[in-house]
Amino acid sequence: MLAIGAIVAVTTGALGIGAWGVRWARTTSDLFVASRAVTPWWNAAAISGEYLSAASFLGVAGLTMRSGLAALWLPVGFTAGYLALLLFVAAPLRRSGAYTLPDFVEVRLGDRGLRTVASLIVLAIGVLYVVPQLRGAGLVLGEVADVPYTAGIVLAAAVVVGSVALGGMRAVTYVQAFQYWVKIVAISLPACLMVVHLGGLPERAALLGRELPTVGDRGLTIRLAEPTTVVFPRTVRVRVVADEELRDAPALARAVPDAGRAREGAPPERVGAVRVVPAGDAARLPAGALVLPPRATLPVAEGITAKTGQEWARPAGGEGRGSPLFLYSLLVATFLGTMGLPHILVRFYTNATGSAARHTTVRVLGLLGVFYLFPVVYGLLGRVLVPELYVTGQTDLVVLRLPEAVFDDATGRTLVAVVAAGAFAAFVSTASGLLVSTAGTVAYDLLPRLRRGAAAGGRRSAPLARGPSTPTLDPATEDPAALRRRRFRVSALAAIVVPALLAIAARGLDITILVSWSFALAASTFCPLLLLGIWWTGLTPRGALAGMLAGGAVASAGIVAALAGGEAMEESLLSQPAVVSVPLAFATMWLVSRRDEPLPRAQVAAAMRAMHAPERAG
């Protein structure tokens, strides 16, 4: 109940701020770019709150526990991506005067068909990114409140739609700034208290030694909610029992090594039997509980590699997610994908000037750096204190399980409530930003063109709009304010349905892998478009289209192949295709543009002046 109360309090606060923001949502500029009046500190906190998603709050700690310290390259790429944004994109993009990324595409290259393609890519990235947020919300509500997974997703989707539909971008900005501070407190306070209480890492951690994770001196009983396949890295005696036999779990664990008639090599599928399982064997365990004796080596769920402390602590090396090529591809995806995420880019349209956009980015680097100090603490402690997560495969829950493993009193329950509130805020804030981006794309970029039909075709040769007070909407065709707001809110409701359905179906997928796929797609499409569009005068619409399609197709093919291959493919290069797809996208844009007819020189010159001339130059 304490965790439910904390989640309700944070959610009520967010919705209250959103309701307060209704009074600001009067114009198109209010809805999409908060009238370009957000200060750098507010915007930095909002960007950080939006960016720190389920992958950051739960996924990084879970992936660190699962795969080792090599997983920490993920937050390095997440944060370093803002350095590239600061150097190459932030100020020119703000000076463009656009409302959305597809809007920037049209006014830079003068092609409405290309704008539609960009809009569809925005929707694809948004869907891929929202799915793990809703999945994380379902897991958290199920863990702390026994809410069914599907009901948790529906509840989270309703909260997200409510916070977005109430007030548009300005309200969402204040909501996400509030949620950043909720998240930083929720992840840092329990981590600091746990380390202080334990006096550092536990002695039996063996984090840097040659040992595999083992059971403590009292044995361990692990509940299995459903049939589970596990691999036994060392020979061990085990017993599988039904739920009704779990009243005296410690006694059951002590009895396992003394079972005189245990037969080596007999599979442990039959409930109630004590078996000796040889090293390297895999077994399909029925629902119930797995009882392990004291100091036994832990089995691991299918898809997890059992690692000694030395192997676990290596920053790179070996196969799978630790291989150098996989890490290079991951860094390419996260470093370059950040500048291609539509819900992040739209934030820079809300700054008053290009200089303010740069100041915002510097502050974001600091805020993210502070946050990412703490997930590694949970990964380190989780390997020792909640090793049963290796057996169930639910390492994403390490942040929620640790407080009660360290504190077995009201302190632990209170800290779980704090962490649960922060985790729920992480899902809601990121999903809200994504929904603003996708709903804006539908309401502002797609629906007007569907209404105009064939009249939407052709090229737009007007130079890039300039200045915070110059919207890119055509005044002659702009809808009344009330209709625009209604269209935006209906689009927000429609845009959450598909991700919610996919999240229900994606219960077994890893949160961090899902997020990294969206980064790979963003890096393979919008990153080359932005860098070449901002800094190269030779880019043409055909070149941009060919590059986005080539990069997006290769990245998507890898994603689909990894999905079809199941857990065995999650650690293959197919799940991180950016090392191939990003260079291909850049090369295709350049080669096709070089062979294409260039855009009018006056149009390109006007666009470049608008993006690169300082505001004080007029």
Q: Are the C-beta atoms of 335 and 582 separated by less than 8 Å?
A: no
Residue 578 lies in a domain: no
Do 236 and 140 fall within a single domain? no
Residue 105 resides in a domain = no
Distance CA 291, CA 465 (A): 67
Other C-beta atoms closer than 10 Å to the C-beta of 23 total 11
Radius of gyration of the chain (CA): 26
CB 311 within 8 A of CB 207: no
Backbone φ, ψ for residue 393 (5° rounding): 80, 5
Query: pLDDT over 90 for what percent of the chain?
Result: 13
Per residue in 348-391, pLDDT (tens digit) is 666 667 677 788 888 888 999 999 989 888 988 888 888 889 98
Q: Is the pLDDT of residue 149 over 80?
A: yes
Q: Does the pLDDT at position 434 exceed 70? A: yes
Q: Are residues 22 and 125 in the same domain?
A: yes
The pLDDT value recorded for residue 476 is: 45
Give yes or no for residue 88 having a pLDDT over 50: yes
- pLDDT of 143 strictly over 50: yes
Residue-wise over 187-206: b if at least 16 C-beta within 10 A, else e? bbbbbebbeeeeeebbeebb
Cα separation, 77 vs 63, in Å, equals: 15
Local confidence band at 468 (pLDDT 50, 70, 90 cut-offs): very low
Domain that holds residue 460: 2-78+111-197+341-507
Hey, how many other C-beta atoms are within 10 angstroms of the C-beta on 537? 13
Give a yes or no: residue 617 inside a domain: no
Q: What is the pLDDT of residues 187-217, one digit of tens each?
A: 999 999 999 988 876 655 455 667 888 887 7
Q: By C-alpha distance, which of 66, 97, 135 is closest to 379? A: 66
In the predicted model, what is the mean pLDDT of residues 581-592?
96
Give the per-residue pLDDT at 281.
84
| Confidence band of 254 (pLDDT split at 50, 70, 90) | very low
pLDDT of residue 462: 45
DSSP codes joined into one string, 287-347:
SEEEEE-TTPBPPEETT-----HHHHH-SS-SSGGGSHHHHHHHHHHHHHHGGG-HHHHHH
Q: 524 to each of 55, 83, 117, 339, 583, how far by Cα in Å? A: 20, 18, 14, 11, 8
Give the mean pLDDT of 515-541.
Answer: 91
410 & 476 share domain = yes
pLDDT bucket at 94, cuts 50 / 70 / 90: confident
Same domain for 433 and 484?
yes
For 269, how many CA atoms within 13 A lie in the half-sphere containing its CB? Answer: 8
In the predicted structure, residue 464 carries a pLDDT above the cut 50:
no
136 and 17 inside one domain: yes
For residue 138, is pLDDT > 50?
yes
Tokens of 519: 């980064």
Q: Which of 239-243, 285-289, 469-473, 580-584 has the lowest mean pLDDT?
A: 469-473
Q: What is the pLDDT of residue 22?
A: 58
* Domain shared by 247 and 155, yes or no: no
Q: What is the mean pLDDT of residues 101-114?
A: 84
54 Cβ contact list (under 8 Å, min separation 6) = 132, 133, 135, 136, 137, 423, 426, 427, 430, 511, 515
Q: What is the pLDDT of residue 517?
A: 79
Q: Mean pLDDT over all residues of the chain?
A: 78
Tokens of 96: 């463009």
Last residue of a domain, one of 450, 477, 507: 507
pLDDT at 454 over 70: no
Please report whether residue 224 resides in a domain: yes
Report pLDDT for 378.
92
Q: Which domain-ending residue is among 476, 507, 538?
A: 507
Q: Are strands 274-277 and 263-264 parallel, antiparallel or unpaired?
A: parallel
The predicted structure's pLDDT at residue 73: 87
Residue 523 lies in a domain: no
Strand pairing class (236-241; 288-292): antiparallel
- Residues counted in the chain: 618
Provide, rounded to the nearest whole percent, the portion of the chain with pLDDT above 70.
76
**235 and 187 fall within a common domain:** no
Confidence of residue 548 (pLDDT cuts 50, 70, 90): very high
DSSP string, 244-274: GGGGGHHHHHHHGGG-TT-EET--TTSTT-E
Q: What integer pLDDT is reported at residue 136 of this predicted model? A: 81
Which pLDDT score, from 0 to 100, does residue 200 have?
75
The better pLDDT of the pair 152, 544 is held by: 544
- Residues paired with 241 in a beta bridge: 289
For residues 254 and 189, state if they share a domain: no
Say if residue 192 is in the same domain as residue 265.
no
Which pLDDT band holds residue 319 (cuts at 50, 70, 90)? low
Q: For residue 188, what pLDDT is reported? A: 93
**Measured on CA atoms in the order 192, 198, 199, 202, is the torsion positive or negative?**
negative
Final residue in a domain of this structure, among 455, 472, 507: 507
Average pLDDT over residues 554-569: 75
pLDDT at 526: 92
Q: Is residue 548 assigned to a domain?
A: no
Same domain, 413 and 348: yes
User: Is residue 37, in this structure, part of any structural domain at all?
Assistant: yes
d(CA 487, CA 440): 9
What's the pLDDT tens digit per position in 222-235? 888 888 888 888 88
Through-space distance between the first and last CA atoms of the chain, rounded to whole angstroms: 58
- Over residues 538-542, the mean pLDDT reads 94
pLDDT > 60? residue 590: yes
Q: Give the single-character DSSP code of 459.
A: B
pLDDT of residue 467: 41
Residues 382 and 213: beta-carbon distance below 8 Å:
no
Structure tokens at 609: 């002046």
Residue 489: HSE in the Cβ half-sphere, 13 Å Cα cutoff = 15
| Residue 124: exposure state from Cβ atoms within 10 A (0-12, 13-18, ≥19) | middle
Same domain for 148 and 33: yes
- On the question of pLDDT at 594 being above 90, the answer is yes
Residue 129 has pLDDT above 90, yes or no: no
**How many domains are there within the chain?**
2
- What is the rounded CA–CA span in Å between residue 533 and residue 551? 16
422 assigned to some structural domain:
yes
Whether residue 219 is predicted with pLDDT greater than 70 in this model: the reply is yes
More confident residue, 263 or 14: 14
Q: What is the DSSP string of 581-593?
A: HHHHHHHHHHHHH
**Claim to verify: residue 144 and residue 238 sit in the same structural domain:** no
Residue 125, phi-psi category: left (phi > 0), alpha (psi -120 to 50), beta (remainder)? alpha
What integer pLDDT is reported at residue 484 of this predicted model? Answer: 66
531: pLDDT strictly greater than 60: yes
- Specify whether the CB–CB gap between 436 and 489 falls below 8 A: no
The owner of tokens 């020189």 is 601
